[in-house]
Amino acid sequence: MSGSDASATTLGEASERETLKRIFPRLPESRSTIVGPGDDAAVLAAPDGRYVVTTDMMVHGPDFRWAWSAPYDLGWKAAATNLSDVAAMGAVPTALVVAIAAPASTPVSDLEELADGLRDGCAALAPGCGVVGGDLSVSDTFTIAVTAFGDLEGRAPVLRSGARVGDVVAVSGMLGAAATGLRLLFSEAVDAAGEPDRARFERVLAAHPETVTAQLRPRPPIADGPLAAQAGATAMLDLSDGLALDARRVAEASGVGIDLDPGLLGDDVEIALTGGEDHGLFAAFPAGAGLPGGFRAIGVVVPGAGVLVGGRPFDERGGWDPYIGWDGHGG
């Protein structure tokens, strides 16, 4: 590549310093910054003397494929999924740190676009949240690890363990859409050998924009996390592994049963129950409390254990495990 085309330079050609100089101006600023990027560490404000922390890593192959996700999409999704975990504690997301390992052949412009996705994801979902630090490494496997922080604003964190018999259980965000999108990608956006294919992807995206975008560029209802805490939610978690499995986690942690009403789970009850990566919020609220924001009732907390659907035990495992069903990388 010619040095005159700055956007074509790869990580292997540019120094780490040059690369960071191109990326950092594109990143969103955090309202909580006391000391920002550029020193050994950042310093952030924790006005109520506490902070919320969560981390998540996405790996090319099992977690995303370049044939389906543009760098912008990856940046957006890496932000969104971590913001959702912060919101699920009832906290307002304040900041991210981002560590990336990328092949030396990666164009610096890919990282610029990834930074744009981080910026736009934060701006759309959690205004005021920004990137306060990071790390850049070389790897044969493109990997991004985001750690996200949040401010409880003086409230108690909303844990998985507080659901009480008689509570209403509710969700905010779409159920099953991201999983439907993923199924479409694996069935229709692959070539004859089953490998992700960009041309077929474009057709699938055009035909099913809502579900494919729910998978690749999710919009978790971040603001509903703090709203739920303010409304007295007794338990809450991020829906990442499928409603049935995640509801079971709340049931186990709280020592209760959760009975879901299949009539409130949409047209495709099976995928609403078992589809992963919804990144909506699942919460329990005291009976009679108004449901805030985008929350809608889908069931009740009952005596007993586990998850029921229409009063019958639901034992299908659902959800997904990153080590099961993974058979190599591609795309």
Quickly count: other Cβ atoms within 10 Å of residue 197's Cβ. Answer: 21
Instruction: State yes or no: 33 annotated in a binding site.
Output: no
The nearer residue to its own copies, 88 or 258, going by C-beta atoms, is 88
Instruction: State yes or no: 135 annotated in a binding site.
Output: yes
The nearer residue to its own copies, 101 or 175, going by C-beta atoms, is 101
The phi-psi region of residue 155 (left if phi > 0; otherwise alpha if psi is between -120 and 50; otherwise beta) is beta
- Residue 329 Cβ vs its own copies, minimum distance, rounded to whole Å: 6
Rg, the chain, Cα only: 21
The nearer residue to its own copies, 156 or 207, going by C-beta atoms, is 156
- Residue 229 Cβ vs its own copies, minimum distance, rounded to whole Å: 12
Instruction: State yes or no: 85 annotated in a binding site.
Output: yes
Quickly count: other Cβ atoms within 10 Å of residue 21's Cβ. Answer: 11
- Residue 54 Cβ vs its own copies, minimum distance, rounded to whole Å: 4
Strands ordered across the beta sheet of 281-285: 235-238, 281-285, 168-172, 296-302, 257-260, 306-309, 312-313
CA distances from 252 to 163, 249, 262 (A): 10, 5, 21
Instruction: State yes or no: 56 annotated in a binding site.
Output: yes
The nearer residue to its own copies, 89 or 302, going by C-beta atoms, is 89
- Residue 267 Cβ vs its own copies, minimum distance, rounded to whole Å: 28
Give the integer Cα–Cα distance in Å for 229 and 10: 45
Instruction: State yes or no: 167 annotated in a binding site.
Output: no
Binding-site residue set for ATP: 134-135, 160, 240
- The annotated binding site is made up of 40, 54-56, 63, 85, 134-135, 160, 238, 240-241, 277, 320
Annotated binding site for substrate: 63, 277, 320
